Amino acid sequence: MEEKEEKGFVFRDRRKVRLDELDKDDVEAQQPTIDEVEERKAKEEYTTSSAQHREKTSDQLPKVTFSTFIFSLASSALVHLGEVSDPVTNQKSVNLTMARQIIDTLAVIEEKTQGNLSKDEEQLLKSLLYDLRMKFVQKSSQI
């Protein structure tokens, strides 16, 4: 009987240090850090480049604030809940998995920003989460 040669992948670990040979504290100590000077320089270069790009383009997006960020996520959730047409396809469709992911992301943001938001931001986030959760429950009971 003829033997078949198995095809597969070969993994070669090219790291200088093997993670299984280190304890957890050593691994954390070896995490790369960004030099503050490099970080500041990158931020300045980004700001300059971003301003130049903004001047060249006619499509002006709203300034990114906490509220616009939260509205953006909520809008995406509404698209996945089939409440709003997808801006690309102009079609309404329901994707509860993606809607749930975005709602859960907003919940994590709520948890992690607790005590750091203005009253208006806090109320906006709570209201959006409530509305999205209720729409999710409604859609999931229809399927």
pLDDT at 28 over 80: no
State how far the Cα of 39 lies from the Cα of 36, in Å rounded to an integer. Answer: 5
> In whole numbers, what is the pLDDT of the chain averaged over residues?
84
Going along the chain, which residue ranges are E strands?
A: none
Q: Contact at 8 Å (CB) between 119 and 125?
A: no
- The answer as to whether 13 is a domain residue is no
State how far the Cα of 96 lies from the Cα of 100, in Å rounded to an integer. Answer: 6
- Weakest mean pLDDT among 22-26, 31-35, 71-75, 128-132: 22-26
State how far the Cα of 119 lies from the Cα of 127, in Å rounded to an integer. Answer: 12
State how far the Cα of 99 lies from the Cα of 133, in Å rounded to an integer. Answer: 9
Domain limits at 111?
A: 66-142
pLDDT of residue 62: 78
Give the residue from 37, 56, 75 where a domain finishes. Answer: 56
Give me the half-sphere count of Cα atoms (radius 13 Å) on the Cβ side of residue 4: 3
Q: pLDDT tens, 64-122?
A: 899 999 999 999 999 999 999 998 999 999 999 999 999 999 999 999 999 999 999 99
pTM: 0.67
On whether both 77 and 136 belong to a single domain, the answer is yes
On whether both 73 and 50 belong to a single domain, the answer is no
Q: How many domains does the chain have?
A: 2
